Every structure is written in C-alpha cells, then in structure tokens.
Structure 1
Amino acid sequence: MTSRSKITRSNTNANRFNIVIVGGGSAGIATAASILKRNRKISLAIVDPADDHYYQPGWTMVGGGAFSAEFTHRKEKDLIPDRAQWIQSAVTSFDPDTSSILTADGQEIGYDILIVCPGIKLDWEAIDGLPEALGNNGVTSNYRYDLAPYTFRLVKELTGGTALFTQPPMPIKCAGAPQKAMYLSCSKWEKEGVLGNIDVQFHNNGAALFGVKEYVPALMEYVERYNAHLNLESTLVAVDGEARIATFKQKHGEETKEVEMAFDMIHVVPPQVAPDFVRSSPLAAESGFVDVDPATLQHTKYVNIFSLGDACNAPNAKTMAAVRKQAPVVAVNALAALEGKPAVADYDGYGSCPLTVERGKVVLAEFGYGGKLLPSFPNWLIDGTRPSRLSWLLKDTILPPVYWHGMLKGREWMARPHRIGAD
C-alpha cells in the first residue's frame, strides 16, 4: 500500500510522471483537462492506444436517424490537452507497490498519482453466435459506431414483422440506451404508418423497466402507446443470424426456461464487464471493476490511485453525464493527493439518462446514489419525469458542443466539484 508520505513530485525521469491517466476516452480527456487547468506545471501522461474518439451518447441518435455517425467522431490526437503527453499504447498490467504500469510495447511507466479510466468491455462473445451475426440478417446494435447506421437502415426498411430489443444484466453503460433504441424505432414506424404491422418486443434481464421508479410511469405510457410487449427477466443467450432466431432464458416463477423467437430485426445490447487487464489486477474489487470509495473515487487501498467512469465500481449509472461530474472531483482530489493531502471533494452519484421516447421528446432522468432525484433545472422549466421538447433540444443540440468544447476542454459548466463538508 502506498502511503501519503511516499507520494513525491517527480519531473525528471522521462518515463515517470506526476500523474498518469490510463484511458483517453471521455473520462481520461476530461480529467486531464481539469487537472491541467488547475496546475500547468505538473507532468501528465495519457496512455491509450486508440486513434479515434467517439461521442458515444450520440450513437442512439444515429440509430434513430437524428445524427450522422461522422458527427460523433473525432481523431484522438486533436483532443489530447496541451501539456499532456500521449503514450499511444495499451496497458497490460499494474504494479501499485512500485507505482508503475506496463504497456503492450514494453514500456514501464512510473507515476506519483494514477487515474484509471479505460472504460468498459463489451462482451459480444457472451452471447452465442452474436459476433458473427452482427451487421447482417437484421442483427444490429447502437453500441458500435459502425452498426448504428445499420440500425436506422433496418428501421427504415421494416414495414412489418417482428422487432426485438434486448437489455443484458447490469452493469452496462447508459442503462436507458436499450429501450431508447426501441422508442426511436417505434416513433419512426408510427410516423410512417407501419407500427401496427410490427410486433415490437423488449426483453430485459431486469425485473423493472427502469431502475428509478419516478421515471417508469412516463416510460410505460410509451410502451403502451407503441404496443410494445415488455418481457422482464428475459435474457438473450444466443442469436442465429441466418435463421433469424433469437434464444432467451426467461424466468417464470421458480423456473427458468429457454425460448426461441423468430425476428425480422433485433437490436442487441451486449453484456459488459471490466477490461481484462483491470479485472485481473490488484486494483480490482470482486466485481472486476476498480475498487474505489464512492464519494472521493480514491482507491480503497492505494491512496495514490483514483478511478472514474465505466471502469470503477462506484454504484452510479455509467453515463457520460456521470463522468462530467466525476472528472472535476478526481482532478482536485488527485492534486491534493500529489501534495500528500486527503481528498477535498466528493461525488454524489449523479448520472443522467436522456430517454428519447419519441423523435422530438425526451424524459430527462437525472439521479444520484440510491436513486435520489438530482434535477439540474427547476421543475417549471423541465420536469424530468415527463417527456419534454426542451429536453430533446438539450440532447439534440446543446449537449454535443458542451461535450466537445466544454467537458473535454476542462470547462466545468454546472459541474464544479463539491467540497467535502460544504452545504
């Protein structure tokens, strides 16, 4: 275990940095930008092998025909903050006892403070037959950049038949995305006058449509409006693309049985787990995700390690909106730890899920730990429990530039870190 007294400021070794961030996605870039806004003198490295960066909350909109796929894409090199060094390699292992990481190309990189945010692993292989079926024969997913346009193509072409939408066990990133795909598809079919010819089914591993009960009534109104059949405790386990057959394990009382269903299109959300190199590391909790204090996002054992975003085990919804609030908290706490001080800011579990219930309307779910409602706007402006055109404007027009030009630049609009002990 690294004690606070052992944390030193190091700028001399080219392969050692004051702060190393593992992951160059939303969490990594936003946290780096927040840190360097506060202290431009430290040495900071971002370790990530990817050439491309994506605004993943936009993929649901791509699948619904509201965005182009290209609108959600930027080159990673254009987003790395000034004064941050980009090490374009994958991390293979952590050695917290020596405060170092090892990369796939053999680099050993030392750190004073480590921030771990490599995202989550989409486990396509967990569903038998799915990897080879994707992208053909009506099998699609908005969880892949290259497949979201195929979703909209299928929706436009379908004029009758059976459309299945699936949700796997938690945790997943953006817990509302599986049903958002269904709502936007139904909205399109309704507009085209073909919805009555389509058997729409939602298969959810969980026992409820949504995890925060205050939002369920509005969502159920749309389930009923679209005449969608809700299958709870029903989990996709196999896909035969050529035969267009999906197999589900369904719970009926004390019994579980397998049910085969024919489809014309199926939108699949894959099970999701911690990245392999995180799951097998000494940083992992029993769940496989990085073990952190849910308030400070500091590792429960190693005080010079923090984690945020999809890779940590804090019990919040895994959304981009959560990262927007977490990044400043980790930034100030990491800088405090660099000086041997305790954490100074806390995170309340805030997450947001703009549920696109039809083209032009959104139920803006905002909540924190324990399902506590945490609205950003007064109720007279936006009632998050009801569908709203203003919430659609937020999702469609306002949030993308806030992401690219605000969050990733260290601009903490409506996201200033809450100081521990402050009201």
Structure 2
Amino acid sequence: MLNSSFIHKQLITTKNIFRCYTCRNELRCKVLVVGAGTGGCSVVWRLHKNLSDKDIIIIEPSAVHYYQPLFTLIGAGIKKFPQCHKPLQSILPSKVMWLKDQVDEFDPCNNAVFTHCGLRVRYDMLVIGVGLKNDYDKIPGLSRYLKDPLVQVSTIYSSQFCTKCWCNIQRFGGGHALFTFPKEVGKCSGAAQKIMYLAHDYWKKKKIIKNSSITYTTPKDTLFGIPKYAKALTQVAESRGIAVNYKLELKEVTPRNAVFIGNGGQTVILPYTFMHVTPPMSPPACLTKCTELASEGFLEVDKHTLQHKRYSNVFGIGDCINTPSSKTAAAVANQSNVVAQNLWNSMYGKPLIAKYDGYGACPILTSYKRGIIAEFKYDGKIAETLPFNQAKERRICFYLQNNVFPYLYWNRLLKGKWNGPGTIRKIINPFAKQTRRK
C-alpha cells in the first residue's frame, strides 16, 4: 500500500480522486498524457475543456518546466537562467490531475502504464510525449568533465550545464575552440551551430578571435538537412573562418583532447582549449524497451495523423516520435493541434481528418544581432513565412528569438492556442513567393 506521504507529494491537484483507488493502487482515466514537455502541456490544454476533472491525467516526474530554446541564449550570456523555467503546477490547467511520478513500463495491450511508485494507470486514450534524454555516458569522459568546473567542456543542451557554457566562453582567452555534433538524431540541431556563432561574435568583440581557431565537427556530410540553409550556413562558417570537419563522430573526451572516429574508421585526435559538445540523445528507457510501441527506440506513428501504427488509441507528439521531421518546439505547435483533433475523433469513432505536414522551424542566430530562420516541411520543402529570403542573415531573427518566441511559447503554445504560422503564411504567401530563393 502507498503511504500518506506519497499521496500528498504525488497527486498535487485532485487528492480525492486518488483516495478512491488507493485500495488497489490503480487509477483510471479517459485520456492519459505521459510527459509534460511542450507537447504534453499543449495537448492537455486543448483537451481539458471538453473533459471532466476525473477524465484526464498527466504523468510527469519533474516539478519544473523548461523553455529549452533559451538554453542557447543563456549559454551566450543573452538571457539569465531564471527566465527559462517555471513551476509545472503554474503551467497546467488547474483542474487537470498531475501525477508527479514517472512511467516505468507501457502495457498497450491492456491499456495501462506502470509507474515508478507502484501505480497502475489505466486509460481509454494515451498520448506519449516523453521527449529525449541526453546520453552522456555513450561518450567516455563527457559526463565527468561536464561536471568539472575547471575543465572547459560544456553543452547548452541541458539546464544543468548551460550556465557553465557562458562561464567557459568568458574564460576562453584564445586557442582552439571545438564544437561537436552527434550521429544520433537529436533535438534542435541548429542550436549546435547557434552557440558557436554567438561565441565567435563574443570573442571577436573581446578581440580574442585573432588568437583563436574554431572547428565544427559533424558525422554528417552537410551543415544542415535542407540544402538551401546548408548552403547559407556554409557561407556563414567560411566568413567567420570556422573550419568544418565532416564525417567525424565524437567517441571520447579527455581534459585536453577529443577523440573522433572518421567515416573510414580512422581515429582523429583534436586538442582543444574550449569545447562545446552536443550529446547523443535517445527516448527514455520506458519507451525504447517497449517493442509493441517503439521502432528503433522511437514511438512508431503515422507521420500525418500521429496515431500509432498498431494501437489506434495511442498518439505521439514531440521529440520521441519517429516522424522524419525536425525535433523542435515549432514542430509541436502543429502536432498538438493534429493530436488533439484526431484523438477526439478517434474516441468517438470519427475519421482522422487532421494531418501533420512535417512543419518545423529553426531560428539560427549567427551573431548577437542577426540570424537566419529555417522553415520547412516533409521532404525538405521550404515553408518560409516572411516575405523575403529567410536564408539571409537579418536582424529580425534575433528580435524574434529574443523577444517574440519566448512570449509566444509561455502564453500561446503551451496553452494550446498556437497552431504554428500557417495562417500568417497563407496571408503573405503571394508576396513571399516572389522573393524566395532556393
């Protein structure tokens, strides 16, 4: 049996519902949402108005919600750490039941999940938005030196280390700065370059850049997955004097050197004075070990309806799904609308008419004043919203990233009130077509 301390800590908003089921350690609901990241919160807000207090449960172990795109700006000294997070309880709808626990096992055959604290939660409909975790241990030495304040190794892909990145950038007095990108699919791939361009700009202003060299390594054969933006970013790197090494995968970190494996299996050792690592990432173990739901670790969904391919009452959202789309907050805006509509229709036996087109966006700051805005859909189709070529460095990118997007995130996207810029694009699309260049 669960003790009273567990009851008080784990169920924040609806203790009376929990007491009805403690005798058998079981909860029931119509809709269960696993994960209170961007996708989970947005879906909960979209659904809760049409469901009663006892109908929807969200499971999330963390009491804090982070706006992760700000990690890069914190790592570059543009924002302060308190600006990137809020208490989760202040974000969720007040009547939604939040189970402060984590899922250890999915049982889709019996419409249930099992939590770390020993609960079984049964559902009619399930939304999985568990995100990705950083696999530091896949690179020997990385976790150790990230935690060591005296070693110039950092990453902006974690709330734990993004402030260290800013400290390291300021401490850098010249030498070799190394930035890496992993082989595994990760979230917000543009952030790996964004922090590099911002660091370059900072060191240039401090007149350190003349005594420095910068190298970017990637196991890919291009800087970005969309040719138009890859070409633009290649030109940016060249104009900054940044050396790009393709087809190199980071395998080990020491206090002074980084060990890579090349495409042909050869070992390459690069010394560094400053190092920023984009860690390999993967969905959490609760999903990867569930072969009924996952394919190669990711939730297997139809790329348009976001419904699971084998379990019709399961939907996925965000970074943990296997769609060939970017893993960014911008993608979630449209995904959450599709999931909410299709889940509701599926619940009542109606056709799934909402379709996700693969939209994603990645604003990439190239300095403390300018940047480019990549927007695209499935198959690499360009989906730019603004009436000019967004692959060109412009001031509006910095303004949007620094001022507009944080407001949009906290006040619209998280609360299920933002479906992405599709409507705006339709209004100005005739003008945008005239000025876009491939």
Q: Same fold (TM over 0.5)?
A: yes
Is residue 388 of structure 1 aligned with residue 400 of structure 2?
A: no
Number of residue pairs aligned between Structure 1 and Structure 2: 399
SS in 2 for 1:334: helix
Instruction: Find the aligned partners of 1:140 and 1:60 in 2 and give their Cα distance.
Output: 12
Match of 1:204 among 218, 228, 250: 218
Residue 353 of structure 1 corresponds to 362
Higher relative contact order (CA 8 A, sep 6+): 1
Change (3 A) 1:90 1:373: same
Structure 1 residues 316-335: aligned runs within 5 Å: 316-335=325-344
Deviating beyond 4 angstroms after TM superposition, the runs of 4 or more aligned structure 1 residues are 11-14, 37-42
Structure 1 residues 273-422: aligned runs within 5 Å: 273-379=282-388, 383-412=389-418, 414=420
Structure 1 residues 22-421: aligned runs within 5 Å: 22-37=34-49, 39=51, 43-136=55-148, 137-241=151-255, 244-251=256-263, 255-379=264-388, 383-412=389-418, 414=420
Encode CA deviations 1:190-212: one digit per residue, 9 max, x unaligned: 12222121110001111111110
Higher helix fraction: Structure 1 or Structure 2?
2
Task: State the 1:250 CA deviation.
Answer: 1.6
Encode CA deviations 1:203-238: one digit per residue, 9 max, x unaligned: 111111111010123212221122111000011100
SS in 1 for 2:306: coil
Contact 1:18 1:338 in 2 (8 A): no
Encode CA deviations 1:278-308: one digit per residue, 9 max, x unaligned: 0111343432100000000000000000001
Task: State the 1:411 CA deviation.
Answer: 1.1
Instruction: Find the aligned partners of 1:288 and 1:323 in 2 and give their Cα distance.
Output: 20
Task: State the 1:408 CA deviation.
Answer: 1.2
Change (3 A) 1:415 1:104: farther
Residue 6 of structure 1 corresponds to none
Task: State the 1:413 CA deviation.
Answer: 5.4
**If the length of structure 2 is used for normalisation, what is the TM-score?**
0.88
Residue 4 of structure 1 corresponds to none
- Structure 1 residues 44-53 or 75-84, which shifts more? 75-84
Structure 1: where are the runs of 5+ without partners?
A: 1-10, 418-423
Change (3 A) 1:326 1:410: same
Task: State the 1:37 CA deviation.
Answer: 4.2
Structure 2: where are the runs of 5+ without partners?
A: 1-16, 22-26, 424-438
Give the RMSD, CA atoms, in angstroms: 1.8
Contact 1:328 1:416 in 2 (8 A): no
Task: State the 1:342 CA deviation.
Answer: 2.7
Task: State the 1:341 CA deviation.
Answer: 2.1
SS in 2 for 1:394: helix
Change (3 A) 1:38 1:354: farther
Task: State the 1:355 CA deviation.
Answer: 0.7
Task: State the 1:247 CA deviation.
Answer: 0.5
Q: Identity over aligned residues, as a percent?
A: 32
SS in 2 for 1:206: coil
SS in 2 for 1:109: strand
Contact 2:35 2:59 in 1 (8 A): yes
Residue 8 of structure 1 corresponds to none
Instruction: Find the aligned partners of 2:50 and 2:200 in 1 and give their Cα distance.
Output: 46
Instruction: Find the aligned partners of 2:292 and 2:211 in 1 and give their Cα distance.
Output: 51
Task: State the 1:415 CA deviation.
Answer: 5.8
Contact 2:293 2:308 in 1 (8 A): no
Contact 2:181 2:192 in 1 (8 A): yes
Task: State the 1:142 CA deviation.
Answer: 0.4
Contact 2:36 2:59 in 1 (8 A): yes
SS in 2 for 1:114: strand
Encode CA deviations 1:238-284: one digit per residue, 9 max, x unaligned: 0112xx11111122xxx321111211110001111121110111343
Instruction: Find the aligned partners of 1:416 and 1:46 in 2 and give their Cα distance.
Output: 28
Contact 1:328 1:415 in 2 (8 A): no
Contact 1:44 1:83 in 2 (8 A): no
Contact 2:346 2:352 in 1 (8 A): yes
Contact 2:141 2:254 in 1 (8 A): yes
**If the length of structure 1 is used for normalisation, what is the TM-score?**
0.91
Instruction: Find the aligned partners of 1:374 and 1:416 in 2 and give their Cα distance.
Output: 9
